[in-house]
Structures are given as C-alpha cells and as structure tokens.
Amino acid sequence: MTLKVVTRGKSRLVKSVQLAQRAIFLNAYYLAFFMVIEVGLFVWKGENLPFVTGILPQEVCLLFILAFMEIFRLRIANLGNILEAKGAAISVIVYSLFSGVGIAFFAVWQTYVLRLEFILCIVYLVFLLLELVLFIVGVVVYQPQ
C-alpha cells in the first residue's frame, strides 16, 4: 500500500509491507475461527473427557489470554505496518514469539490434544511464522528517508 503522508510540512510516500498487511488481515479472521473451534472443543472435552479438578478452567483461561494477546499483537502489527514504525515492528516480533509459545502449548502440552486442534495450531503457527518473516523484512525496509 502506498500513501502520501504530510508531516511537519514534508510530504513522503508510505510504503508499508503489503504482504504483511494481508497476512494480518487473514490472521485476524483465522484467530476468530480458531477461537470458535477451540471453545467448542473445550465444551466437548469438558463433557466427554475426564479432567483433574481445576485443569480445564486453567486451559480455557490460557486460551482467552492467548486470544487477547493476539488481538493486541494484531492491532500493533496493523498500525505499525501502516505507519512504518520500526519500534512497533520489533514489538510485533517479540509478541509473535510469545504467541508462538502459547499456540505450541495448545498443540502439544495441554491435557488432551485432539487431532483437529493439532492441525489448527500448526496452521496458526504457519501464519505466525509468515507474519514474523514479513515483519523482519519490515524492520529492514522501514529506514528513515
């Protein structure tokens, strides 16, 4: 995306990483899809699988913490990419690492991992890796002009 921005009387072209913007857009929709499926799977697990007391609510809380962290990360990514903010791009890279650990937890370390969850988490990690690579490119591209 190329925009003309005027700041302090100077005009310049904004060259945000368009692929990163598209990845952010798709990731936002995938996050909503992921959350709906995960909540449904947790309801099913709670009804059909034996859990030690207190484990299921902890895992559900971790899921919602991950969702809020992802919403925050996607918002920073969107604004940082549009505004070409190097600091925001670096923040997104750091938050992506934490999100990756959270998603890996749901793919591998939770009490019961269903095949569907594993596949959903792997797809999410691929999206996250794609964004991570694009924002590393963005940090290189966002040079002062």
Q: pLDDT by residue (tens digit) across 24-56?
A: 999 999 999 999 999 999 999 999 999 999 999
Domain that holds residue 42: 38-141
Q: Which residue has the higher pLDDT, 22 or 137?
A: 22
pLDDT of res. 11: 65
**Arithmetic mean of pLDDT, 49-71:** 97
Residue 23 lies in a domain: no
pLDDT at 81: 87
Determine, yes or no, domain membership for 137.
Answer: yes
Q: Quick check: is 91 in a domain?
A: yes
Section 67-71 average pLDDT:
98
User: Is residue 88 within 8 Å of residue 72, measured between CB atoms?
Assistant: no
Q: Is residue 92 part of a domain?
A: yes
The residue among 91, 86, 90 whose CA lies nearest residue 142 is: 86
Average pLDDT, integer, range 76-83: 90
Query: 28 in a domain, yes or no?
Result: no
Using DSSP's 3-state secondary structure scheme, residue 114 falls into coil
> Does 63 reside within a domain?
yes
- What is the total count of domains within the chain? 1
Within a domain: 102: yes
Residue 32 forms part of a structural domain: no
Amino acid 1: pLDDT: 47
- With b for 16 or more beta-carbon neighbours within 10 A and e for fewer, the 60-91 pattern comes to beebeebbeebeebbebbbebbbebbbebbbb
Q: 2 has which bridge partners? A: 15
